Structures are given as C-alpha cells and as structure tokens.
Amino acid sequence: MSRERTYIMVKPDGVERGLVGEIIKRFEQKGYKLQALQALQPSRQHLEQHYGDLKDKPFFPKLVDYMLSGPVVGMVWEGKDVVRVGRVMLGATNPLASAPGTIRGDYAIDVGKNICHGSDSVENAEKEIALWFPNGTLQYTRSVDKLIYE
C-alpha cells in the first residue's frame, strides 16, 4: 500500500470559525490516517518559506498577512492518493468555483478566506511536512486498514 502523505492546514479563518473538527472529521471518515496534528501561530518567516513559490504573485503580501491573522492547525494525513484526493476534498482554490460537498464549496466564499490548505504534489507535501513538523511524525499501523483497503 502507498505510504503517500499530505500536509493539510486549517487557516486562521477556519480555526476562528470552528471548522477544525469538521475538516478532521472528513479526512478521518474517508479512511485516511492521522500522523501529526498541531495548533500554532507561525512566524512571518515561516509562512514566507511555506508559500515561497508564490512570492512573486501580486496577492503574496495579502496572503501572508491573512495567514498571520491568527493560529493555524496543521496536520499530516497518510493514505492512498491522499495528495490528489485531499485537494479534491478541499475544493477549488476559489470557493465560488468549488463543488458543493467540498470543504471550500460548503463553507467559504472568497479566495482570500478559503479556510484550508492542501499540498499540491507528493514532493511538495514532503517539503511542507519537513517544514511544519521538523521533529517528524508518528508512524503506526492500524488494524482498521484491512476494512478500508482491499
């Protein structure tokens, strides 16, 4: 079975609106395995590193200020195709283009308040996990996997 992992982060608006549990619930109920979870107030430098690929975008300063506006909750989920499927579960970046049933489609309206982040490739997921969880993540086996995977 693939050991693919993704980094999912509830942004400050999602934390303040009380959506952390809802987002965890969706990944749990799908069958993905939680490997790490933390609430923290990241520094500007940390966020600029996380969003380094976007530093030349016109919305970059606004994005960093938004992400600095309160605590975030970061998590690592493991499972088959979790990077791609995780982004499907989050919905399109612009919530008005997100399908109903996705997290952004159900709970957000504006792109600058879109509640959550999900890694966009396996390679970036591993970079983000190393950035946000420098001490590593939990490794464990679950007996329930035999009811989830064929």
Residue facing ligand RTP at closest CB distance: 93
Residue 63 in contact with ligand RTP, rule: CB under 6 A: yes
Q: How far is the CB of 141 from ligand RTP (least distance, A)?
A: 29
Applying CB under 6 A, the span of 24-32, 33-41, 77-85, 117-125 interacting with ligand RTP comes to 117-125
Residue 52 in contact with ligand RTP, rule: CB under 6 A: no
Angstrom distance (rounded) from CA 29 to CA 42 = 28
90 Cβ contact partners less than 8 Å away, ≥ 6 residues apart: 8, 98, 102, 103, 104, 116, 117, 118
The catalytic residue among 91, 117, 129, 132 is: 117
In the structure encoding, which two tokens stand for residue 60, read together? Answer: 């970059």
**x/- map, 11-50, ligand RTP, by CB under 6 A:** ----------------------------------------
35 or 114, CB closer to ligand RTP? 114
Tell me the H-state helices in the chain: 12-16, 20-30, 44-50, 60-67, 82-90, 103-107, 122-132, 145-148
| 50 carries an active-site annotation | no
Applying CB under 6 A, the span of 20-28, 35-43, 109-117, 127-135 interacting with ligand RTP comes to 109-117
Residues 122, 87 contacting (CB under 8 angstroms): no
Query: Phi then psi for 13, rounded to 5 degrees?
Result: -65, -40
28 Cβ contact partners less than 8 Å away, ≥ 6 residues apart: 34
Active-site residues, by number, are 117
**Residues lying near ligand RTP in the complex (CB under 6 A):** 54, 59, 63, 93, 111-112, 114, 117-118, 120
